[in-house]
Chains A and B, each alone.
Chain A
Amino acid sequence: MFKDGIGEGSEFSGYHPWVNLTYYILAIGITMFSLSPWFLAATFTLSWLYSLLLRGTTVVRMNLLFTFWTLVIMALINTLFTHNGATVLFYLRGNGVTLEALIYGLSAAVMLVSVIIWFVSFNTIMSADKLIFIFGKAAPVLGLTLSMIFRYIPLLKNRFQEIKMGQACLGRGEEKGFMARMRKFGKEASILVSWSLESSIESADSMEARGYGLKGRTSFHLYRFTRRDTMLMTVMLMLGAIVITGCALGKSTVYFYPVYTAGNFDIMTSVTLAAYVLLLALPMLIDIIGELRWKRSSLEM
C-alpha cells in the first residue's frame, strides 16, 4: 500500500465529481490566499501527506526535488531583489539584505509548492472521466471534444508505433546522423497525418450516422449524487465557510514589511485553523477509514 499508494481506487475518488472539485477549489483556493505560518504549515504538510497516501513513495523524489529548488530559488530571488524590511542582515554592494524579504520569499515558495503538490493528488482524484463530466455540464460539445482528445492520443501513439515498425521492416530503422534521423521522422509524421486524415472521414461518417449534429444533444455520465455526497458536501462547505470567515477577519493575514507580524494567536485563529486542518484532512480520513474497512472485511472472509 505504501509503495504505490491507494491510487484511483481511493474511497474519496468514488465520491461525486462535484464533491471532489469543491474540495480542491477550497483547498487550493484558500492555500493561495493565506500566507500565515500556521496555515502554510497545515496546507504544506497535508498536501504532502495526501499525495503520499494516494501515489505512494514513488512521488517522494519528485516532490522533494520540486520543494527544495522552489524554496531556494524563490527565497534567493526575493532576498536579492527586494530591499524592504527593517532587519538588515548584511549589505551586498550597498543594498541591504533583509530578514523580512527572506521570510516573504520562503512563505511564498511554501505556498506555491503546496499548490503544486495539491495538484499531484488532484491528478489522481480528478480522472479524465470526471473532468469530461464537469466540462460537459458547462457545454456538451466541450465534454465530447475532451473525450475525443483522450481517445485520439493513444490511437495516434499506436499508429505511430505501427508506422515506425513498418518503416523498420523496410530497412529504414537505423538511420545515422541527425539530418537522416530528422528526415525519417518527417516521413513517419507525414504518413501519420495522411493516415489519420483519411480515417477521420470514416469517423465523421460514423458520428453523423449516429445522429451527431441533431439539435439538443445531451451529455451522458455514470455519476449519481448520493446521500453521502450531500453529507460530505455540506460538511466541507460549512468548514469552508468558517475558514473563509476567519480569513476575511484577517486571521490568516500576516504583514511582512517593515517588520514581520503574524498577529495574535487568539481563539478565532485557532478555530479557523482547526476548521482548515479538518477540511484539508477530510479526504485522507475518508480514504484511510475506507481502506481499513476493506482490509477488515477481507480478513473476515
Chain B
Amino acid sequence: METIEFRNVTFSYPLSDRKALDDVSFTAGKSEFIVICGKSGCGKTTLLKHMKKNLTPYGNFDGDVLYCGEQVVDLDDRKNASEIGFVQQNPDNQIVTDKVWHELAFGLESLGMDNRSIKRRVAEMASYFDIQEWFRKDVSQLSGGQKQLLNLASIMAMQPKLLVLDEPTSQLDPIAASEFLRTIRKINRDLGTTVILSEHRLEEAFTMADKVMVMDQGRVIAFDTPRRIGSFMAGNDDTERHPMFYGLPSVMKIFQAADGKGPSPLTIREGRLWIDRVMAEAEIMPAEPRPLNETCAETKKQADDPAIRINNLWFRLSWICWISWR
C-alpha cells in the first residue's frame, strides 16, 4: 500500500488565476525517501501542505490525496496528528514550550498518554537524537540547528509513518544543515519512515534520495531516480538547461557538462572513478600530484605577496549574533 498518493490534484488559491498545483499525480511507497526541488514559488510548499490535514490550504481543490488509501481531509484527527509529521522552515516558530524535555513531550501529551509511557518515549528520542546533553535546557538557549533538531525529535516521538519536511534547513548554517539532513537519512534508514523533503541544498539531499521530483509552475515535470534526473535537467545542450540544473550537485553538473553518457555519478567518489575511467579510455595520463615541499614553497610565495594585509584587527561577536551564528 502506498503511503501517500496524489491523483490528478489541481489546486489554486482563492482570487488567483494561476494554478498552484496543476494535475499532480504521484505515489510515494512505504519507506521511500523523496526529495522535491524547484524554484521558489513553484508549488512545493502547497504540495507538501496537502499531505497534512490541518495544514491543507484553503482554495479551489480538485482530485484526491490519499494517505494509506484514505482521503487525507477525512483522516481521524488522532491519526493525522500522530502518523503524519510535518516540519516547517522556521526553527523558532514551531517551538511552543519553554523546556527541551517539555517540547519533546508536547505531542504525546496531546495524545493523552500517561506519564510513564511519555517518559519512555521521550528518553528514547533524547538518546536517538543526542539530546541528552541539553535535555533540561531552556529552548531559548539552543542554537538554530539544535532547535530544528528538537522540532524533528518532538515529531518523531509520536512515531509517525510519514515525515514531511518543508525546507527544514533553509535557516540553518551549512554545518547544522548537513547534520540535520544526515539525521533525516538515519531516520529513514533505521525506522523505515517515509520521508518527503523539499530542499535547496541538493548537493547532500540528492545522494540520500530514492527519487527526486522536479516541479515547475505547479506541475511535476520529472519524477525519477536521482541518477537520471541529471540528464533530464541538462537537456541536450547549454540552451536547453533547466534553471534547476544549476542547483544540482557539482559532480552531476560536471558530468553533464562533459557530455557524460549513461547514469550520472552522485558522489565525489563516483565522480573521481568516472574521470579515471574516461581518462584511461582516452589514454591520457593524469598529472602526477606534486610533492608536498613544492606546494609549501608556493604557499610561502603567496604569503610574501598578499592581496590584502591586516594588522591588529580585533573582532568580537555580540552575544545575540553569537547565538544565531552558532
Chain B 91-135 near chain A by CB (<8 Å), digits 1 or 0: 011111111011001111111111100110010000000000000
Of residues B52, B94, B96, which shows the largest number of chain A Cβ atoms within 10 Å of its Cβ?
B96
Q: Are B320 and A209 in contact (CB under 8 A)?
A: no
* Distance (whole angstroms) from the CB of B67 to the closest CB of chain A: 14
Count contacts on B: residues with CB < 8 A to the other chain.
44
Min distance, Cβ A198 to any Cβ of chain B, angstroms: 9
A234 within 8 A of B: no
Complex CA distance for A148 and B113, rounded to whole angstroms: 20
What B residues does A213 contact at CB under 8 A? 77, 110
Asked whether any CB of chain B lies closer than 8 Å to the CB of A147, the reply is yes
A residues contacting the other copy or chain, number (CB 8 A): 37
With both chains docked as a complex, state the minimum distance between the C-beta of A215 and any C-beta of chain B, in angstroms.
7
For A123, list chain B residues within 8 Å (CB): none
Interface flags, A106-141, vs B, CB<8A=1, else 0? 000000000000000000000011001000000010
Contact assessment for B88 and A215 in the assembled complex, using a CB-CB cutoff below 8 Å: no
Q: Do residues B88 and A220 form an inter-chain contact, with CB atoms below 8 A?
A: no
Expressed in whole angstroms, the Cα–Cα distance for A66 and B94 within the complex equals 43
Please tell me which stretch of A149-157, A177-185, A243-251, A290-298 contacts chain B, meaning at least 4 of its Cβ atoms lie within 8 angstroms of it.
Answer: A149-157
Q: A147's contact among B98, B140, B155, by CB below 8 Å, is which?
A: B98
Q: Which of B112, B138, B140 has a CB less than 8 Å from the CB of A216?
A: B112
B82 CB-CB contact with A under 8 Å: yes
Q: A214-B112, A218-B118 are in contact. Are A151 and B96 (CB under 8 A)?
A: yes
Whether A151 contacts B140 by the Cβ 8 Å rule is: yes
Q: Which residues of chain A (195-218) have a CB below 8 Å from chain B?
A: 199-200, 202-203, 205-218
Contact with A155, one of B92, B119, B155, B320 (Cβ below 8 angstroms):
B92
Interface membership of A58, Cβ < 8 A: no
A200 contacts which chain B residues (CB < 8 A)? 93
- 16 further A-B pairs in the complex, CB-CB below 8 A; given A147-B96, A203-B96, A209-B85: A147-B98, A148-B97, A150-B138, A151-B140, A155-B92, A158-B323, A199-B93, A203-B95, A206-B96, A209-B54, A210-B107, A212-B110, A218-B112, A220-B118, A220-B122, A222-B101
B contact set with A: CB distance below 8 Å: 52, 54-55, 77-78, 81-82, 85-86, 88, 90, 92-99, 101-102, 105-115, 118-119, 122, 138-140, 151, 154-155, 158, 320, 323
Q: Residues of A with Cβ closer than 8 Å to B?
A: 128-129, 132, 140, 144, 147-148, 150-151, 154-155, 158, 161-162, 165, 199-200, 202-203, 205-222
